[in-house]
Amino acid sequence: MTHEPREEILDSQVRTMHFAAKMDFSGTEGVHPMRKGLLSGCAIAAFFSLPGSAQERLPELLTPVDQKISDKFAARSNFDLRDMLYFAKRHRIVQIDFALLDKPGATFTITAFADARLTVQAMELATAASYGNSRQWKGAVIAPRLDVVAAAGVDSKQIAEQLNTVSFWSVNEPRDVPPGLRKELASASPQYPAVTNSPDSRSNADPSAVMKMRVPTLLGRWFQPALQSSLQIMPVPEDPRYHVVYEEDPGKTPQGKDFEERRRRYGDFRRTLEEERKLLGASPQP
């Protein structure tokens, strides 16, 4: 397991891995980005969906949180979360029903927002040894399922398969927990056992300010037909018991003809964020 340094501009796939697990998944399947270029020369032919009543009876992967929790993460002092959400058009804080990812053939819904729901069925359950303390979960989209009509020379079958597949990485490894959560997590549940007290490697930090805790987290990226855009999910840096799901803002992703301008704007945003952090004497999440 390796830990990558933060870069000024990160590709969407690398950003997902960096913020969510601080791991390098290069050379693995990882989370597949759904770029606009994927649909070049293609047309979406049809949508197929389950009856509304059938979807309502299915379990849901993303469970809502109390409004007080959402309000806590709306504070401007959550610098790492604000950094992450620079690329978001909208977002919400959720918790994960991890038990659904352990059931072979399980069918459930993924409701990022009221207008963004998928129904999926488990395709693969990777072993815990698939990549250290992480494993990949794959599910087939049942509804709304896309059919793709491609122009000559374009592999419509491959494109349709990618569009109709959801892939997550489930990570369960020791994480550095901010001092404000140490006591709370240690006493909350056996689900969050303390691993060890570990001095922080950063020279400007209090050596006693970090405790490593084992907290299950999830990260992934998928295409949402109803929005014609991609969604991402990853743990909240300030409190990994919770996750943030967001719709990507295509106007901020550093790609396209105005790549350099978008990169410059993001760099300006991050410099402003770091100035605010220094004023408050806050340290970045490890």
Least confident of 28-37, 146-155, 178-187, 220-229: 28-37
- Over the chain, what is the mean pLDDT? 75
Share of the chain above pLDDT 90, in %: 42
Pick 146 or 64 by higher pLDDT. Answer: 64
User: Is residue 91 pLDDT above 80, yes or no?
Assistant: yes
* 3-state secondary structure (DSSP) of residue 232: strand
**Length of the chain measured in residues:** 286
Q: How confident is the model at residue 209 (pLDDT cuts 50, 70, 90)?
A: very low
Average pLDDT of the residues in 139-159 = 76
Q: Which residues contact 162 (CB under 8 A, 6 or more apart)?
A: 32, 34, 38
Q: How confident is the model at residue 140 (pLDDT cuts 50, 70, 90)?
A: very high
Average pLDDT of the residues in 12-39 = 37
Average pLDDT of the residues in 118-140 = 79
pLDDT of residue 197: 53
Pick 185 or 265 by higher pLDDT. Answer: 265
Average pLDDT of the residues in 190-203 = 51
Q: How confident is the model at residue 64 (pLDDT cuts 50, 70, 90)?
A: very high
pLDDT of residue 212: 78
Mind giving me the DSSP string for 173-227?
A: EEEEE-HHHHHHHHHH-TTS-EEEE---SSTTS-TTS-EEEEEEEEEEEEEETTT
Average pLDDT of the residues in 110-129 = 84
Least confident of 11-20, 61-70, 192-201: 11-20
Q: How confident is the model at residue 86 (pLDDT cuts 50, 70, 90)?
A: very high
User: Is residue 200 pLDDT above 60, yes or no?
Assistant: no
User: Is residue 59 pLDDT above 70, yes or no?
Assistant: yes
How far apart CA 235 and CA 133 sit, in angstroms, is 16
Rounded to 5 degrees, φ, ψ at 93 are: -90, 135
Enumerate helices (H) and strands (E) in the chain, giving the number of each.
Answer: 7, 12
Nearest by Cα to 216 from 196, 255, 190: 190
Largest CA distance in the chain: 62
Pick 24 or 267 by higher pLDDT. Answer: 267
Average pLDDT of the residues in 172-179 = 77
pLDDT of residue 1: 39
C-alpha torsion 130→26→30→159, nearest 10:
-130
Nearest by Cα to 136 from 31, 258, 226, 252: 31
Average pLDDT of the residues in 43-65 = 69
